[in-house]
Amino acid sequence: MTLDRTLGIELEGDGDTWRGHFAVTDAVRQPYGIVHGGAFLTLAETITSAGTWHGVKDDGQLAMGQEISASLLRPISEGHVHGTATVRRRGRTAWVWEVEITDDQDRLCALIRATIAVRPAPAG
């Protein structure tokens, strides 16, 4: 079971914009009842890795997280966590994305920047 499946992340996207979301459950809350910041980052890395992989897979490349940073602006304690990722740079060895995390009321809850490494897929 992968982390994204454990959290119940659902993805959709095409090209330069990808989206994902998951439901708020006790599994993603920290002791104060709000969604753990690590769950926000997991959503962001999942979205951006998927978007990068879709852009490089036909060239025999893989995509994996290289760096991620976040500004957590507003807590989420119920409903869903939504992420919208926009690619800012498509490099040969890395893609850079910006991700906005919002709640069900479309309030901005976090801003995240993710760099996704692009590497050759192993032979076979």
Catalytic positions are 45
Backbone angles phi, psi at 9, to 5 degrees: -70, 130
* Residue 2, amino acid: T
Buried b (16+ CB within 10 A) or exposed e, 55-89: bbeeeebbbebbebebeeeeebeeeebbbbbebee
DSSP 2: -
> Do residues 95 and 115 make contact, with C-beta atoms less than 8 angstroms apart?
yes
Tokens 């919208």, located at residue: 84
